[in-house]
Structure 1
Amino acid sequence: MTITKHTNDSAERPVVKIRHITLTGIILGLVFGVIITLALTSFLPSTTSVSDNETEENKPLYWVAPMDANFRRDQPGQSPMGMDLIPYYGSQNNTIDEGAGTIKISPSVINNLGVRTTTATYSPLKTTIETVGYVTYDEDKLVHIHPRIAGWVEKLYINAIGDPVTKGQALYDIYSPELVNAQEELLLALDRKNKRLITAAENRLIALQIPQKAINSLKRDKKVQLNVTFYAPQNGVVESLFIREGFYVKPETMMLSIVDLTQVWVKAEVFERDVFKVVMGDSASMRLDYLPSKQWSGKVEHVHPM
């Protein structure tokens, strides 16, 4: 700092000039400001350090498949099943005190799979097996038709497999010399009025499966029928047909078969590992593709050994 005295002719008066005082004050203020700032900073926590620590804590340890805990990756992606991998942050983020036997499922897995929880209770185990079945006829309602005599098919009243028939409907006419002889024996017994012979002749016609109305007509009209008509023994459809008009048939010839479809079977196939789960009397249900809204119920009546 410099002080200079000036004099003039009129009077002597001191004058003081301050040089560089402003610049020096600014420099001193900056120095004190830096010192105070450094002092305060040393007492404050480091924001950057905390932020870095939080970032490290929130970083997943790895990504795991929702359906396979053994499939892990160090970055996001998809599992072999096409599902998004789930980040795993470690057990430090768990807020629930997990005891022994605790099962924990990720909230995202619960949402994706639609998991529902309920209270565990004791109850019988119910196993449902879904498989493919084939509708077929009830073999207990299948009738094979063989002739009791040898002869020729003179007339056939059905045409093809699948034709519906009703009980008592005419199926075919047969000409057989054996049937002609059996009818003549009954007429001879009637002429002699021998009850024992009449009964024996009628029983023979019945054994040859001559319809009762044909026997009654013979006794009433006293006229032998060359062609005898045979009738369906039950309702159903023609399951097989092996004869045509003019065929010669014998007792060992299977002419046709009729099956009743009022009750059917469903043959279901199950895997070997599920065979022990199926027992006689189990309840069963069936649906058809073309009628998905309708269900048929039944039960297991037979388990095939093969």
Structure 2
Amino acid sequence: MKIVSVVFAVVLGTIVGVLVTPFLAEQGVLPSFISLTTGQQDSKNSEPEPLYWVAPMDSNYRRDKPGKSPMGMDLIPVYAQEGGSDSSPGTVSISPEVINNLGVRLGFAEMRILESRIETVGYVQYNEDALIHIHPRIQGWIEKLYVTAEGDPVKKGQPLYDIYSQELINAQEELLLALNQQSIRLRQAAMRKLRLLHVPEKSIQRLLRTRKVAENITFYAPQSGVLDNLSIREGFFVKPETTLMSIGALDEVWVEAEVFEKQAGLARIGADVTMTLDYFPGQSWQGKVDYIYPSLDAMTRTLKVRVRFDNKQHLLKPNMFASVVIHASDNKQHLMIPREAVIRTQDQDRVVLALGDGKFKSIEVTLGQSDQMYVEVLDGLEEGETVVTSAQFLLDSESSKSSDFKRMEARTEEKGAPDNGGPQSSWVEAKIESIESMDGMGAMVGATHQPIDEWGWPEMYMDFPVAESVDVAALTVGMVLHIQITKYPNHKFEISDVHIPDDAMMKGMQPDMSPMTEEVDHSGHDMSSEGM
């Protein structure tokens, strides 16, 4: 019976303790070590638990506990995203320690001058402004040739060839006849005829002095340079249409560079050019674009650009192969980010935006031109915003799984225009730069339009498809008009309507790119309030 009594007492005490302990804890009666233990346990339970661990260099490698990646690196914990007013789909939070371990580096969207470079090749040519082709003005036979090989240097006044011509003999005899008759008028006419036949002045003066007709007349070099295109030998019968030889000057040379079609728009007259040649390692020449040829080569699809270089030392020789860099900066400010910040995919370009406090988000951007270090951002970023330039691929892979690739606060909301998710239209002044048929699929119009403030667009050139309702035949290159641009949710744009002012029907008029005043389109709507 004693054993039964003891067991009953123990069970009863346990039940009473379970029921009474919460009440005593609330009254502060329990010993202090029990309260301390309870507090530690609550603090431990309040810490967030990682969802999983991921490899720093491969987001597809996941584990449910800490460890090492296949590359021997510590796995990184990934926590559940806490909701809040400052978060959006795709926002990733990372602790400062992990940011340091990943080597995250940041860059900024800033206004810079676009230092575009066109790297291409070129060929040294004669300065054709100083290239002379030598033709006889009579027919006859080459009795003696004083130059024998192309590429030989010649000096001004150096003898080139002797020619026998019956016409020259007759012209000399006419001068002697005029001298014998002492007729000033006939003498002047005979001397003028000899000079028109390019008979050297020294030969005329010798004839006046000796009164003897020379059977062979020597002709001399009209300028110093290099002999080229030598097409005669001694004994040749020549006529006025025969090109005897050419003499090219080398004090200044031309270099014809070839620019690929996609970079043709960057080439500008007056742009600085740097040229190097394998023949002279470590040496460079500085010049400027002198002329841009009006048409592309049909076979190579390249545009020729002419550059002048000083060549007083005659180091540059025709047909030399050169490496050419054209510095095509337009001296305008563009919104730029470092090139390494861009993540290019088949469908879109995006960057990882640093939101602060260890938060990151992948967003889509529209890119423009680029140089060696920076790329232009046409849409998606604003000046002063921070982007990730190193380790962004891991952040992007985590963010892109749930990201909407949009800004946390839409630009349209900042501008006061609600984004209803549907097509948006805006009227803007523009100049037609090109019109191209798309082989039965409509037309493509290239236009330079004024800024569109509600979309955050600057003044720029764009190619637009044209809606079927627009009469493309009424458009001409150079026309300044008003166009309605429609923007669709899938990032497609098109010209959906046009308004052609009466004075814009003259092709080739100069654009007046001043801000638009209130205009009324052909349908009678006030364009200053419709879409503007």
Shorter-chain TM-score range: 0.5 to 0.7
Q: Relative to structure 1, is the Cα distance of residues 60 and 143 closer, same or farther in structure 2, using a 3 angstrom cutoff? A: same
Q: Percent identity?
A: 45
Query: Could you tell me the TM-score, scaled by structure 1's length?
Result: 0.67
Instruction: Give runs of aligned pairs for residues 163-202 of structure 1, distance below 5 A.
Output: 163-202=152-191
Describe the shift of the 1:118–1:63 C-alpha distance in structure 2 as closer, same or farther (beyond 3 A): closer
Residues of 2 paired with 1:175 and 1:242: CA distance? 18
Question: Structure 2, unaligned stretches of length 5 or more?
Answer: 1-33, 63-68, 79-91, 297-532
User: Is the deviation greater in 254-263 or in 125-134?
Assistant: 125-134
1:120 aligns with 2:110: yes
Q: Is the CA contact 1:148–1:251 (under 8 Å) kept in the aligned structure 2?
A: yes
Find the partner of 1:223 among 212, 226, 230.
212
* Residue in structure 1 matched with residue 61 of structure 2 by the alignment: 74
The within-5 A match list for 1:50-61 is 59-60=53-54
Distance 1:156 1:59 in 2: 90
> Residues 261 and 87 from structure 1, CA distance in 2 versus in 1: closer, same or farther, beyond 3 angstroms?
farther
| Rg comparison, structure with higher value | 1
Q: Does 1:234 align with 2:223?
A: yes
C-alpha separation between the residues in 2 aligned to 1:215 and 1:186? Answer: 9
Letter of the 1:59 partner, please give it. W
Amino acid corresponding to residue 240 of structure 2 in structure 1: P
What secondary structure is seen at the aligned counterpart in 1 of 2:247? strand
Do the aligned partners of residues 188 and 89 (structure 1) sit closer, same or farther apart at CA in structure 2, a change above 3 Å counting?
farther
Secondary structure of the 1:131 match is: strand
Report the CA distance between 1:128 and its aligned residue: 1.6
Q: 1:137/1:94 Cα in 2 relative to 1: closer, same or farther (>3 Å)?
A: farther
Whether the 8 Å contact between 1:62 and 1:73 is mirrored in structure 2 is no
Structure with more relative contact order (C-alpha pairs < 8 Å, separation 6 or more): 1
CA distance in 1, matches of 2:96, 2:148: 81
Distance 1:86 1:288, change over 3 A: farther
Secondary structure in structure 2 of the residue aligned to 1:135: strand
* CA distance in structure 2 between the partners assigned to 1:223 and 1:255 by the alignment: 28
Q: Which residue of 1 aligns with 2:245?
A: 256
Structure with bigger helix share is: 1
- Could you say what secondary structure the match of 1:280 adopts? coil
TM-score, normalising length from structure 2? 0.40
Contact 1:61 1:74 in 2 (8 A): yes
Contact 1:235 1:260 in 2 (8 A): yes
Deviations 1:220-270 (A, max 9, x none): 111111110001111111110110000000001111111111111111111
Q: Which residue does 2:94 correspond to in 1? A: 93
* Counterpart check, 1:139 vs 2:117: no
More strand by share: 2
Matched to 2:261, the amino acid is: E
Aligned residue number for residue 158 of structure 1 = 147
Task: Output one character per residue of 1:162-214: Cα deviation in whole Å (capped at 9) or x when no partner.
Answer: 11111111100000011001001111111111110010000000010000111
Task: Say if 2:258 is the partner of 1:269.
Answer: yes
Over 3 Å counting, the alpha-carbon distance change for 1:252 and 1:86 in structure 2 is farther
Secondary structure of the equivalent of 2:291?
Answer: coil
User: For the Cα contact (< 8 Å) 1:61–1:87, is it kept in 2?
Assistant: yes
How do residues 195-214 of structure 1 correspond to structure 2 at under 5 angstroms?
Answer: 195-214=184-203
Partner of 1:217, secondary structure, is helix
Instruction: Report the 3-state secondary structure (helix = DSSP H, G, I; strand = E; otherwise coil) of the residue aligned with 2:144.
Output: strand
CA distance in 2, matches of 1:242, 1:86: 79
Q: 1:73: Cα distance to partner?
A: 3.9
Could you tell me which of 246, 249, 252 is aligned with 2:235? 246
Q: Quick one: distance in 1 between partners of 2:138 and 2:233?
A: 17
What aligned pairs does 1:282-293 form with structure 2 within 5 A after superposition?
282-293=271-282
Flag structure 1 segments of 5+ consecutive residues without an equivalent.
Answer: 1-39, 65-71, 79-84, 97-103
Paired AA for residue 178 in structure 1: E
- Go from structure 1 to structure 2 and tell me whether the alpha carbon gap of 1:273 and 1:88 turns closer, same or farther (over 3 Å shift): farther
Residue 62 (structure 1) shift: 5.8
2:63 aligned with 1:63, yes or no? Answer: no
Partner Cα distance (1:88, 1:214) in 2: 97
| CA RMSD, 1 decimal | 3.5
Deviation at 1:125, TM superposition (A): 2.8
Q: Distance in 2 between matches of 1:106 and 1:206?
A: 88
1:93–1:130 CA distance, 2 compared to 1 (3 A): same
Distance (whole Å) between structure 2 residues aligned to residue 106 and residue 272 of structure 1: 45
Output the CA distance in 1 between the equivalents of 2:252 and 2:170.
41
- C-alpha distance after superposition, 1:46-103 (max 9, x if no partner): 9xx99xx99x689325635xxxxxxx5428679xxxxxx997755442449xxxxxxx
- CA distance in 1: counterparts of 2:109 and 2:101, whole angstroms: 19
